[in-house]
Chain A
Amino acid sequence: MASGLRNCGTAGLRVPDVQLFGCTIADVQRSGCMIPSVERRAVLDAPIERVWEAITDGSWLDKDVDIDVRPGGTGRIGDRSVLVTDVDPGRHISLLWWEGDDVSSVDFSLTPTDEGTELIVIERPTFQSSGPVASAQRAFAYA
């Protein structure tokens, strides 16, 4: 379970008072990792096929979910609109989801483990208005 900027070490704490999600400004500047992300890992006690089914069914995200699970597929999760940007069936799905100008990319990755299935969720806010959505929609329209 982690939250914050990825791939940021804690070496070289030259700026002790300034921490950006666990990274010093120096780390941020050196690695250029300025896209904030929220990451969660969970080990689920179920085979990967069942977890994939549950993930893409989406009822764990909202009561009202309808997603066309293929690249370029659209749908909604509650009040959010959804655009599927990438699918590796049974393994990985990437979405853009948005409500008004509030746009995030969300990645779900599944890996089988001895105990069941590891799920990694990463949400990255775009901190932009609908620009990323429009450009993804254009890309799929011409694909």
Chain B
Amino acid sequence: MIRDAASSVFAALADPTRRALVEAIARGGEATASQLSAAFPISRQAVTKHLAALSEAGLLRSHRVGREQRYALEPVGLDAATQWMASVGSLWDRRLATLKEQLAAAPQP
């Protein structure tokens, strides 16, 4: 379901450290957990945990280079969230059209 996928994206990005990690990866193209933990005031273990959460939400993809996992952005990870927003928006468009019709059908005496 779209909402479930959107929900996990928003939940993953609700954490400021994770947003900062996503930004750093977006800027740098790709990064390893060691590089990120050198740039952030948190342990490599904590970085790895955040990267796992972001990967699980579909926001990052990774591949192994040598002994390390390299993380890059997965832009389609945002698609579900964007779709969810669009579907809620079109529901409101329909409701507002109904409200306008109602008000027009019963004009002020």
Contacts and interface: CB of A to CB of B under 8 A. Distances in A.
B88 A38 contact: yes
B103 A50 contact: yes
Interface string A38-78: 10101011110011001100011100000000000000000
Contacts of B89: 3, 38, 40
Interface string B64-98: 00000000010100100110111011001101101
Given A46-B103, A50-B103, A15 B10 contact: no
Contact of A61 (B14, B78, B86, B95): B95
A38 B20 CA distance: 24
A3 to B, nearest CB: 5
Nearest to B22: A25
Contact of B10 (A17, A61, A123, A127): A127
Interface string A114-141: 0000010101010100000000000000
The A interface, classified by DSSP as helix, strand, loop or mixed, is mixed
- The contact size tier of chain B is 35 or more
Nearest to A43: B100
A44 B100 contact: yes
Contacts of B85: 3-4, 21, 36, 38
Contacts of A119: 96, 99
B23 interface: yes
15 contacts: A17-B26, A17-B75, A18-B26, A19-B78, A20-B13, A34-B19, A38-B89, A42-B96, A44-B103, A46-B103, A50-B103, A51-B103, A61-B95, A121-B92, A127-B14
Interface of A: 3-4, 14-15, 17-21, 25-26, 28-29, 32, 34, 36, 38, 40, 42, 44-47, 50-51, 54-55, 59-61, 102, 119, 121, 123, 125, 127
Interface of B: 3, 6-7, 10-11, 13-14, 16, 19-20, 22-23, 26-27, 73, 75, 78, 81-82, 84-86, 88-89, 92-93, 95-96, 98-100, 102-104, 108
